[in-house]
Amino acid sequence: MILSVDVRALDDAHVVGTWGRTFIQIWRGVATAKASADINRFATEFVAADAFPATSLFIVEPRSPAPEDETRKNFATFSRDIVAKMSLAVIVSEGGGFRGALVRAVGVTLTTMIPHRSHFKFVNDIDVAAQLIKPHLLPGSGGAEALIRAAEELRAKIGTKAPPPARR
């Protein structure tokens, strides 16, 4: 089975898309309150759209700054209300060192303060993330390698064109 990437949001700071039953968001720039609220809406629709459990791949590139208060609240909602309905969520903090520690600190704070039925994993590498998600992928999807290709296809789109039309 060949799965295609479906772009849900795109601008100079981020891209959001789906691939099979994996919800992918990649942040290169500032995570805004509006964009994070839109992500929550898209993810809620995505999780509800199919009985096969969804997963989340959340990549934070090295240049993406820490989120502001309202955006953190939206990420907490994502964590508490949406990820709890997924089989696994993996956050990739690219950049290592202090940067990686900062992203992990925000993520760990969100996941420890709010009860979850699902597990978050924090890693510094997309290859490790794909291996963690692999057992949760649709059968015949192409596995971790195909997930990596889908994420890189999405990453390449950041800043390349206007966002897709809004869906209803």
Across residues 38-44, what is the average pLDDT?
A: 97
CATH class of the structural domain 5-157: alpha beta
46-60, 88-102, 120-134, 138-152: the lowest-pLDDT one: 88-102
95: alpha, beta or left? (left if phi > 0; alpha if psi -120 to 50): left
Distance (Å, whole) CA 94 – CA 126: 8
What pLDDT score was predicted for residue 112?
53
pLDDT at residue 167, rounded to an integer: 54
Higher-pLDDT residue of 99 and 83 is 83
Instruction: Indicate if the pLDDT at residue 99 is higher than 50.
Output: no
Mean pLDDT computed over 138-158:
96
Q: What share of the chain is helix, strand, coil (3-state, %, to 5)?
A: 45, 20, 35
**Position 161 confidence tier, pLDDT thresholds 50, 70, 90:** low
Q: What is the pTM assigned to this prediction?
A: 0.86
Residue 162 pLDDT class (50, 70, 90 cuts) = low
3-state secondary structure of 57: strand
Judged by DSSP in three states, 90 sits in strand
- In terms of pLDDT, which residue wins out, 100 or 39? 39
pLDDT grade, residue 102 (50/70/90)?
A: low
d(CA 131, CA 147): 9
